[in-house]
Amino acid sequence: MLEFRKIELSDREWVEALMEKSNQRGCEYTFSNNFIYRKIYQIEIGRMDDYYLARSMRPAGGPSYLFPCGSGDLRPVIEALMEESRRMGVPFRMHGATKETAAQLEALFPGKFVFEEMRDSFDYIYESEALITLSGKKLHAKRNFINRFKTEHEGDWSYEPISMQNLDECWEMNTKWCEQMGCGEDPALMEEACAVRNCFNNFTALGLSGGLLRAGGRIVAFTMGRPVCADTFVVHIEKAFASVPGAYPMINQQFVSHRCADFKYINRENDEGDEGLRKAKLSYKPAILLEKYAVRLK
């Protein structure tokens, strides 16, 4: 019988070691992602041989398992997860499967599963060079916003890495942002605010990196994330004041330039079905729209 329990900070070392073996680019395959959303999605974790197992207890009707990551024979791991579902008396469900991992399942268990596209969970992955240079006609509007920001704040703006010395100041900016956006009245923003607080409370312990943007001495934008695999950096959080034109594209460009230039790709996570967010993420012309599928038994 598999054993699942709540995820703890002390799990980071062994979890990341197994995640590295899978070399997945999906945002779910960072320890930091699993940890900061642990309460929101009621995440529980386990291990079988050299595979990391995670499940979300939030969906109605029983758990949904993250496609296992690690190395070794995958068949007994999937069989063990299916048996765990049978033991609990609920249908077997899995999430986070990509085209590649779905093909693995189909090869191991021909005709046994149904794969359902989860468009709201697709990750937007960009080439870091494109986010830094913003070259070409398709990103002309982004360059214009950045030029406007630089013009309006000429000689009075700066970029800084986030450190323990300015972390509290970033939190103050985030608090103001939430007040302006009405986070307390929007369930989705309330959940996001919980994840953001987890990032701030465990910034060093989670191995996060971040950057902030100042204009007139005050912080007007910040961002945080960490590597997900050898060639991809995932951005967990990005906040900017809407009242400061160009602050969003500016913090994006500055952070990638200063922190992520050595990574080929930047994963800016999914849009959760938010049409405004989807439009914004598509406007940056992703190099990869990482398709994800829910898996269930036929």
Domain residue ranges of the chain, discontinuous segments joined by +: 5-122, 123-269
Domains 5-122 and 123-269 alike in fold: yes
Residues 129-144 have pLDDT tens digits of 999 999 999 999 999 9
Q: Which residues of 229-250 are buried (b: 16+ CB within 10 A; e: fewer)?
A: beebbbbbbbbbbeebebbbbb
Conformation bin of residue 115: beta by default, left when phi > 0, alpha when psi is -120 to 50: beta
Q: What CA–CA distance (Å, rounded) separates 170 from 258?
A: 18
Residues 229-285 have pLDDT tens digits of 999 999 999 999 999 999 999 999 999 999 999 999 999 999 999 999 999 999 999
| pLDDT tops 80 at residue 60 | no
5 in Cβ contact with 45 (< 8 Å) = yes
pLDDT at residue 144, rounded to an integer: 97
CATH 3.40.630.30 for the 123-269 domain, yes or no:
yes
Whether the predicted model's global pTM rises above the 0.85 cut: yes
What CATH class is the domain 5-122?
Answer: alpha beta
Q: What CA–CA distance (Å, rounded) separates 72 from 47?
A: 13
> How big is the CA angle at 272 (ends 266 and 275), to the nearest 5 degrees?
100
81 in Cβ contact with 66 (< 8 Å) = no
Conformation bin of residue 100: beta by default, left when phi > 0, alpha when psi is -120 to 50: alpha
Q: Which residues contact 151 (CB under 8 A, 6 or more apart)?
A: none
pLDDT at residue 263, rounded to an integer: 98
